[in-house]
Structure 1
Amino acid sequence: MSRRLAAYALCLENGRVLLARHRSGNWSLPGGGVEAGEDPFDTVTRELTEETGLVGAVERLLGVDSRLIPSAERTDPSGGDHQNIGIFYEVRVSGGRLRPETNGETTASVWVPLPEVSGLRRSSLVDVGLELVRHRPATGHVPPVPVDGRLLDH
């Protein structure tokens, strides 16, 4: 089984959420893998800047989501089962300018009005992050979010 530890930024502003479009055409939260020896707190702001061009400051830890993706549901089932552990932070954008990721997989980043998110082809990470920010559970854990055709891998 493979495992990925990642940190994601939930940036909200004026009833909109910041989303990053992967080169596959799917939308997700800005964020990505924690590098060896890196603190996830630093990962989230590094990834925000790399993927979107924006600079941000962590305001609070929202929670942690751990999900097991069976090999049969993965894009590449030959890799076996996969566990994705996502650490979600609420991040306030403090500067920068939106741009595509330089030499990366993020082709665009946009502010999306919250009512429009449900109509997008998106990673389930978007829904997990929005659920965490809406309910702010004291434990930092939300029940599993139904996937309903959304993408599991990121």
Structure 2
Amino acid sequence: MSFRLAAYAVCIEAERVLLVRCVGSSGETTWSLPGGRVEHAEDPFDAVLREVAEETGCDGMIERLLGVDSRVIPAAEAQSGREHQNVGVFYQVRITGGLLRPELNGATAGSVWTAVPDVVRLRRSSLVDVGLALARTRPATGHVPPVPVGGLVQH
């Protein structure tokens, strides 16, 4: 089984959420939250701000920890063909400056503010639904029930 620790930013402003557009090897677009892998010896708190800057061109400020999501993706559904566990640390982040732009030499093709009600129509990572659920419900435990995957929602 492979394992990944990642940190994600849930940036909500005026009923809009900041999403990043990822283009897969086959050319199809998937929307996700700004964020990604926590580097060796890096604090997730620092990682999420680094990822926001790299992927969107914007500076951010962490307002609060929203929660942690752990999911195991079966080998049959994982891109690598091996069972994979992703542990995601979700933060509420406020954008404080910068201009939206594509990631330089990276996998993010752009970012956009999207009306929260419009998210359900996008082909998106399940991480988007987890982050929005954490932001909406702010559970005391920092945990939301697993998000069903199917239709437009992808791992």
Q: TM-score, normalised by structure 2?
A: 0.95
- Secondary structure (helix, strand or coil) at the match of 1:146 reads coil
Larger relative strand fraction = 2
Map 1:141-152 onto structure 2 (within 5 A): 141-149=143-151, 150-152=153-155
SS at match of 2:79: coil
1:85-133 CA-to-partner distances (Å, cap 9, x unmatched) read 0000000000000000000000010000011000000000000000000
1:103 maps to amino acid: N
Tell me the residue number matched to 1:83: 85
The corresponding residue for 2:11 is: 11
Report the secondary structure of 1:50's partner residue. Answer: helix
Write out the 4+ residue segments of structure 1 that deviate beyond 2 Å after TM superposition.
none
Q: Which amino acid aligns with 2:3?
A: R
Secondary structure, counterpart of 2:46 in structure 1: helix
Shift of the alpha carbon at 1:139? 0.5
Does residue 39 (structure 1) correspond to residue 43 (structure 2)? The answer is yes
Secondary structure of residue in 2 paired with 1:85: strand
| 1:1-154 map, 5 Å | 1-24=1-24, 25-77=29-81, 80-149=82-151, 150-152=153-155
Aligned partner letter, 1:3:
F
Equivalenced residue count is: 150
Whole-angstrom distance in 1 between the partners of 2:101 and 2:65: 26
Q: Percent identity?
A: 65
Deviation at 1:75, TM superposition (A): 2.2
Q: Secondary structure of the equivalent of 1:17?
A: strand
Tell me the amino acid that sits aligned with residue 123 of structure 1: S
Instruction: Tell me the secondary structure at the aligned position of residue 124 of structure 2.
Output: coil
What is the RMSD computed on CA atoms of the aligned residues?
Answer: 0.7
Q: Distance in 2 between matches of 1:9 and 1:134?
A: 14
Unaligned runs of 5+ in 2: none
